[in-house]
Chains A and B, each alone.
Chain A
């Protein structure tokens, strides 16, 4: 089974199986046609096969007549910012985010610095399927230049957006685990911007992930022990392209990645009103937080593309996901790990409260996230058939199946990135969440036989 996931805003797969130079080139050529031969910026995370996808993309774009600027190793939010700042036609982020080391992906960035929305994504896919790409002759080929300066412009803008002085005055001690991803090597600059005392972990941008590049408690042992040892004010875990963050409090408690978004929202929404966008799989915490601020919630399918598309449609003020990705459109409409960390430090500085206290003030839910392998050929049928399990109850089919109950909710959906069915259950009661998830998993196994 060769795994290839074609999503709205890109293509993702296992390198050497589905991700090969010709495939990457075909998609990059389609994107080159989509941007109409304008400038395209390419950045990558630190995965060892990143240079392969980068070179293949560059070759195809040059052949399509696009000028290309190679940003080298570059976090996706920094790339997104640079696309907008330089008025480029678009960008390609070579990163598989939180997926393990065998995976890589092309994520296409629109000229506005955002992930492609579903209409734009469909257009690229049509161009790919049609093979209707441009092949420039020698005189009209694009030119390739290197550039390492994207981070400067990004951090300058970030410093202007945040209350950097407030953070600086607090003189925090902060532990950050870059997971040897694209954030590595930029942490010092980030620390200098906000004047905190940085204790970096896994800060070599070599692509040898010391643990799964997914910010969540099970990967947080190193941060937890360092936070305790040095008495840090906060600990952060990043994914490989700095689009997601999870938190470790000053007590060394590793907070579920579900906390990042509501914790930031609780402060950001104070004094603001507007739509908050999240997905169907995100904890109810955000509903309680938004309700307290009288902000309506709009739920979308999982994924940055959907969230950002809804953000624009609803003219929302904030978007985020339970996976630790948060976008503040006043800065940029992108899940942005540096912005997330920076804003949380600003909250700590302005409120004078400890991270554990801020987390403790949030409503407590227990969330269980499970996944089960399902062959792609039957995956949709299995999820459709699963609707029978909820007979008589109101099923929201906005993303898979989602059913609310008194204590929480349960969701069954197809993974956007892997051939997996995800089962997510949340409840105020820990036991009940577990039982709800296990029941569904059992039924799914029966359905797949």
Chain B
């Protein structure tokens, strides 16, 4: 990674390494640009549980004040809680200090619009223009606002979820639930929500101190602890939240991870059993979703990677899609709020479990089986772009090519996808097939192809 940049400013916001690229000066300047773009008014400032959060939160507060914004400190809250709060609090916008699942040395800023959504690429471009041009609308003394804070920034989200999930149905089952918050921001609301569902909670790494106990990607190899806890406590289910609690992985009652692709599948199947409507997900999401939607006779819309792309499509579809998300464990249930939300996802899955009277493993088994392999290789976006151009020629005669985000090629029984990451200077390669061997074959073919082409670049 030495050759690549440690600062990434993109439609997903800004991310960098503390003590290196992400300085308080940079954070303040971005906040000044955002405040200038928003044009003043109350702006929420929240942070995930990382140690560096308070430093950046102070920097952002200073930047907002300087351009006449009124920062409202929401304290530590996860990103879905913060997105909902921005809307519920009728703020003019929000800045979340978070680097999602990036490793501990990282932190970042995400910029939120007044409706509680990530800024669209178009909005982000406009506000980054202000940042790059340095045209900040500094205000004189008489237009300064007083910063304030919210005592319990998590409470409105909790109430909203309880209004849209059948909590009574879940309470009757008195589930025992192992919950791994990985000491992230989810630790503030996660155990509190499960308690409200009447669950007996076995908390793991539930200190919101940002000291990630394991790699914060909720991949099966990172969640051995919760698997053991489920077995030892004889829990009905285990949940793993990612570092900012937008994504969720599920562990069955035997302590076996279901694989993060199944989180959305479980939630979507349950929601579609109650409501007829379309589904929106990104290009890299498992075909399981197509099978589930087909069974209900509803459409699936696919988008570029990036939560905002899924959300925009979800809201644009007429009538509004009933569920959406990403195969990485991100469930978007627009009745609560149109964002990836591990809390709402836990609610939907527990409600599904409460309704069926069958164990979670049995529920999972009735889903179509696919195997997806996700890997990343070193390389910049520019390199990915050139690779895509060369690979397209190789693949366009062999399968159905989709160029909306990198290169995705669909074959009858499998697909492959290569694209630059929006959050890290790496190139992601994915393949999905009916069996592990077939998926492995597909990804190895792709990687061999890439290795051969790399030499040409």
Contact = CB atoms under 8 A, between A and B. Distances in A.
Interface of A: 14-17, 20-22, 24-26, 47-49, 51-53, 55-56, 58-60, 62-63, 101-102, 135-144
Contact of B61 (A14, A15, A48, A55): A55
Contacts of B140: 14-16, 102
Give the 5 A-B CB pairs with smallest separation, nearest first: A137-B19, A56-B62, A16-B138, A59-B59, A59-B24
B32 A21 contact: yes
A56 B28 contact: yes
Interface in B128-164: 136, 138-142, 144, 146-147
B56 interface: yes
Contacts of B28: 21-22, 25, 56, 59
A140 B20 CA distance: 12
A21 B20 contact: no
Nearest to B63: A21
B65 A49 contact: yes
Contact of B24 (A20, A63, A101, A143): A63
Given A59-B62, A101-B141, A141-B55, 18 more contacts: A15-B66, A20-B32, A20-B138, A21-B32, A21-B62, A21-B66, A22-B25, A22-B29, A48-B141, A48-B146, A53-B62, A58-B55, A137-B20, A137-B105, A138-B107, A139-B51, A140-B19, A143-B54
B52 interface: yes
Contact of A15 (B32, B107, B141): B141
A59 B26 CA distance: 11
A81 B25 CA distance: 30
B23 to A, nearest CB: 6
Interface in B194-245: none
A14 B62 CA distance: 16
B58 A144 contact: yes
Interface string B1-44: 00000000000000001111001110111011000000000000
B55 A62 contact: yes
Contacts of A144: 54-55, 58
A60 B63 CA distance: 13
B192 interface: no
Contact of B62 (A17, A55, A102, A140): A55
B337 interface: no
18 contacts: A15-B66, A15-B141, A16-B138, A21-B62, A21-B63, A48-B141, A51-B146, A51-B147, A55-B62, A55-B65, A56-B28, A59-B59, A60-B59, A62-B24, A135-B23, A137-B19, A141-B18, A141-B52
A52 B59 contact: no
B138 A56 contact: no
Given A22-B29, A49-B144, A144-B58, A138 B51 contact: yes
Q: Which of the listed residues B25, B50, B54, B146 has the most CB atoms from chain A within 10 Å of its own CB?
A: B25
B104 interface: yes
A60 B28 CA distance: 10
A16 B143 CA distance: 10
Nearest to A134: B19
Nearest to B210: A138
Interface residues of B, number: 37
A26 B25 CA distance: 8
Contacts of A101: 141-142
A277 B140 CA distance: 38
Contacts of B142: 48, 101
Given A52-B66, A141-B51, A25 B105 contact: no
A187 B436 CA distance: 76
A56 B104 contact: no
Given A15-B140, A59-B59, A62-B54, A52 B65 contact: yes
A25 B104 contact: no
Contacts of B32: 20-21
A77 to B, nearest CB: 24
A141 B18 CA distance: 9
Contacts of A48: 141-142, 144, 146
Nearest to A140: B19
Given A52-B144, A63-B23, A138-B18, A17 B138 contact: yes
Nearest to A18: B138
Given A56-B28, A135-B19, A138-B19, A21 B59 contact: yes
B10 to A, nearest CB: 22
A59 B144 contact: no
B208 to A, nearest CB: 15
- Most chain A CB atoms below 10 A, which of B19, B62, B142: B62
Contacts of A24: 62
A16 B138 CA distance: 5
Given A26-B25, A53-B62, A140-B19, A16 B139 contact: yes
A21 B34 CA distance: 14
Contacts of A52: 61-62, 65-66, 144
A426 B29 CA distance: 49
Contacts of B19: 63, 135-138, 140-141
A210 to B, nearest CB: 15
A51 B65 CA distance: 8
A52 B60 CA distance: 10
Contacts of B52: 138, 141
Nearest to B145: A48
A122 B347 CA distance: 61
Nearest to B20: A135
Contact of A55 (B18, B58, B144, B146): B58
A137 B18 contact: yes
A16 B27 CA distance: 17
A20 B56 CA distance: 16
Contact of A59 (B55, B136, B138, B141): B55
B59 A102 contact: no
A63 B62 contact: no
Contacts of B29: 21-22
A327 B306 CA distance: 61
A25 B65 contact: no
Nearest to A58: B58
Contacts of B59: 21, 25, 55-56, 59-60
Given A16-B66, A49-B144, A59 B56 contact: yes
A47 B147 CA distance: 13
Nearest to B105: A138
Nearest to A142: B55
A14 B28 CA distance: 18
Contacts of A53: 62
B119 to A, nearest CB: 21
A146 B55 CA distance: 14
Nearest to B144: A48
Nearest to A135: B19
A14 B55 CA distance: 25
A53 B146 CA distance: 13
Nearest to A102: B141
Contacts of B17: 137
A396 to B, nearest CB: 38
A138 B138 CA distance: 30
A102 B59 CA distance: 21
B249 to A, nearest CB: 25
A312 B233 CA distance: 69
Nearest to A137: B19
Listed residue (B52, B61, B141) with the most chain A CB atoms within 10 angstroms of its CB? B141
A20 B63 CA distance: 8
Contacts of A138: 18-19, 50-52, 104-105, 107
A62 B58 contact: yes
Contacts of B107: 138
A56 B27 CA distance: 10
Given A135-B19, A141-B55, A56 B24 contact: yes
Contacts of B31: 21
Nearest to B19: A137
A365 to B, nearest CB: 36
Contacts of A140: 19
A142 B58 CA distance: 13
Interface in B105-143: 105, 107, 136, 138-142
